[in-house]
Amino acid sequence: MTKKTRTQVCIIGGGPSGLLLSQLLHTRGIESIVLERTTRDYVLSRIRAGVLEQGFLSLMEEAGVGQRMREQGLPHNGVSISYGDEKFRIDFDKHAGNPVMVYGQTEVTRDLYDAREQVGGALEFNVENVTIVDAQMDRPRVTYLVKGEHQEIQCDFVAGCDGFHGVSRKTIPDNIRKEYEKVYPFGWLGILSETPPVDHELIYANSERGFALCSMRNENLSRYYIQCSTLDKVENWSDTDFWDELKKRIPRETAQKLITGSSIEKSIAPLRSFITEPMRWGNLFLCGDAAHIVPPTGAKGLNTAASDVYYLYNGLRQFYENNDSEGINRYAQNAMARVWKVQRFSWWFSSLMHRFPDQSEFDHKMQIAELEFLHSNEAAQKAMAQNYVGLPY
């Protein structure tokens, strides 16, 4: 026996994109059901993004979940870039007029889960075999299994917010779907440690030994990354090895101030640029990592997921409130135009900051020349600042 339910928007994936979309729709009285393959605890255990753009903050406020972020987040007015022992600052206030907010993805997701639960939002965990049926018809359906029981949701629209490994993107037939991909020949080894951050702002470091990033979550929680080989394993890196390597990649003056401690999380992430087109197929709309992945240099993944949510939410709102399909019809075009620009920035910043295994001496000289140009040129700093704090949407 299949249990049948009806809703307006079926959202696949209970990560930040899916939760934010469902909470925003709720503020307008639009019904949704979120289907999540794992559990709330599992989603909250993934240490990911840490830097939020203004557009993201506005959406959280609009969704009514901005309070803790406003109280506990750390506004940052700039970021530092180093190469060897040289270090300079990109001033967001001066060049872009907006700060960014340091507030972890874990906290964003926790706030969204709490809000969904407070208003009795429909969320199903541990769903299996999610399948999108009749995405091109007026009444698409989503079928799945939960605790061995067959379930079916009939809806008007399906939002595919199920990340890079989800099923939504693959529902679009191969002859319609086009994918663009660049895989980088290195990864990021990250640790979280209950130590004060080495600086009050983030430091992106280009060094002879490879890239490093000094980031944070709060005054006593630091997040550091170092570029590593794609073949590396977390077990190969003791905390001491990690700190020793980090110190060699950041300016000496900064390394002397670094407070080390034992790690409470350690993981390796691959780096990839990936885009799939189209982002809409019939009544299926892809959002966030389901449609695109950026390398983490520049902190754009979660923020770009949020700009997709913005376009989709406003399109759905226009549809349900005014019976006007203009917004949903323009969704793929609007979202994609911004996604390519963000991809460009993430690719440029990644290319500038990392050591590539096949890098020639010429390539290296070009990196240093570009860093020196950025160091000394206000127009270049302005372009960097505007991209970092987030392009408008």
Catalytic site residues?
A: 76, 204, 296, 300, 388
Closer residue to ligand PHB (CB): 215 or 367 = 215
To the nearest 5 percent, what fractions of the chain are helix, strand and coil? 40, 30, 30
Angle at 302 between CA 301 and CA 308, to 5 degrees: 95
Distance CA 24, CA 30 (A): 9
Note whether 216 and 361 are within 8 A (CB): no
- The residues near 94 (Cβ < 8 Å, ≥ 6 apart) are 385
Shortest-Cβ-distance residue relative to ligand RFL: 15
Closer residue to ligand PHB (CB): 155 or 202 = 202
Distance CA 89, CA 375 (A): 8
Q: Show the tokens assigned to 14.
A: 């209970």
| Residue 104 backbone class (left: φ over 0; alpha: ψ -120 to 50; beta: rest) | beta
Distance CA 308, CA 30 (A): 18
Q: Which does 127 bind (CB under 5 to 8 A by kind): ligand RFL, ligand PHB, none?
A: ligand RFL
Q: Decide: is 226 part of the binding site for ligand RFL (CB under 6 A).
A: no
**Exposed, middle or buried: residue 351 (CB in 10 Å: 0-12, 13-18, 19+)?**
middle
Q: Of 78, 296, 315, 327, which one interacts with ligand PHB (CB under 6 A)?
A: 296
Q: Which does 223 bind (CB under 5 to 8 A by kind): ligand RFL, ligand PHB, none?
A: ligand PHB
Note whether 350 and 295 are within 8 A (CB): yes
- Pick from 269, 239, 237: nearest CA to 46: 269
Closer residue to ligand PHB (CB): 296 or 315 = 296
Closer residue to ligand RFL (CB): 84 or 164 = 164
- Pick from 157, 182, 133, 129: nearest CA to 293: 182
Q: Of 7, 22, 32, 105, which one interacts with ligand RFL (CB under 6 A)?
A: 105
The CB-of-32 to ligand PHB minimum distance in angstroms stands at: 29
Distance CA 55, CA 70 (A): 14
Using the contact rule CB under 6 A, the part of the chain among 57-65, 114-122, 172-180, 301-309 near ligand RFL is 301-309
Q: Which does 308 bind (CB under 5 to 8 A by kind): ligand PHB, ligand RFL, none?
A: none
Q: Which does 14 bind (CB under 5 to 8 A by kind): ligand PHB, ligand RFL, none?
A: ligand RFL
Q: Show the tokens assigned to 152.
A: 């079916």
Q: Which does 12 bind (CB under 5 to 8 A by kind): ligand PHB, ligand RFL, none?
A: ligand RFL
Q: Decide: is 160 part of the binding site for ligand RFL (CB under 6 A).
A: no
Q: Decide: is 197 part of the binding site for ligand RFL (CB under 6 A).
A: no
The CB-of-247 to ligand PHB minimum distance in angstroms stands at: 19
Q: Of 13, 55, 197, 315, which one interacts with ligand RFL (CB under 6 A)?
A: 13
Q: Show the tokens assigned to 35.
A: 């289907």
Closer residue to ligand PHB (CB): 5 or 267 = 267
Q: Decide: is 350 part of the binding site for ligand PHB (CB under 6 A).
A: no
Q: Show the tokens assigned to 81.
A: 């870039």
List contacts with ligand RFL (CB under 6 A). 12-18, 35-38, 43, 48-51, 105, 127, 130, 161-163, 165-167, 188, 190, 269, 288-289, 296, 299-303, 305
List contacts with ligand PHB (CB under 6 A). 49-51, 202, 213, 215, 223, 296-299
